[in-house]
Homo-oligomer: A and B are copies of this chain.
Amino acid sequence: MHTENPDHAAVKPRHSVRIDAVEALRLLGEVSLGRLVFTRHALPTIRPVNHVLHDGELVIRTHEGAALTSRARETDGRGVVVAYEADSIDPVTHLGWSVVVTGYALPVTDPDELSYFRSVLSPWVDGTMDHTFRIRPDLVTGVRLCPPQGA
C-alpha cells in the first residue's frame, strides 16, 4: 500500500467551536478569497473566486457566470442556490476558521452597480468575460478550529 502524505502532524483532534452569523460575516469581510459551490449538469462544482461584502451581501465575479445566469432565468429570477465557503486554516496545524454562506445567487445587471462592483472587485483570472453576482446570505454557519482540549 502506498500513501503519499500521511497526516501524522496532529494526532489529537482539533476542538471545533461554532461561530455565530455576525462573527462569521465579519470574518468573511476580512478575506477576499473563497470558493463558490453550485450544481452544474447535476454534478457538485466548486471554483475559487474572490469576493467583497457589500451592504450585508456577498458580491463575486466569476467566469462560471453563464451556467449560473441561464439557471437563474429558468427559476423566474429567483436565482440559483449556491454555497460560498471562505476559510483561514493553517496548512500544517489545521487551526483557524471556516465560514459557509448559503443563499440565492442573482446576477447584478444595473449598469451603475456593475461599474461600482468592477471598481472594488478585481476579476479572478484573465480570459473569458466574467459575470457579477450577489449572494444574499440566507444561512450562515461557521466553525473555529481550536487546539485540542488538554493540549
Contact = CB atoms under 8 A, between A and B. Distances in A.
A5 B33 contact: no
A89 B49 CA distance: 11
Contacts of A3: 52-54, 120
B53 A5 contact: yes
Interface of A: 1-16, 29-33, 35, 37-39, 43-48, 50, 52-55, 81-83, 85, 87-89, 91, 94, 98, 100, 102, 116, 119-127, 143, 145, 148-149
In the assembly, how many copies of this chain are there? 2
B50 A44 contact: no
Contacts of A126: 13-16, 148-149
Contacts of A32: 5, 7, 9, 91, 94
A19 to B, nearest CB: 13
Contact of A98 (B39, B48, B122): B48
Contacts of A148: 126
Instruction: Give me the 7 closest cross-chain CB pairs, A-B, nearest first.
Output: A4-B29, A6-B120, A16-B125, A13-B126, A44-B83, A37-B44, A4-B53
Contact of A145 (B15, B83, B125): B125
20 contacts: A1-B116, A2-B55, A3-B120, A5-B29, A6-B119, A6-B120, A7-B32, A8-B122, A13-B123, A13-B125, A33-B89, A37-B44, A43-B83, A43-B102, A46-B83, A46-B85, A47-B100, A48-B85, A125-B143, A126-B149
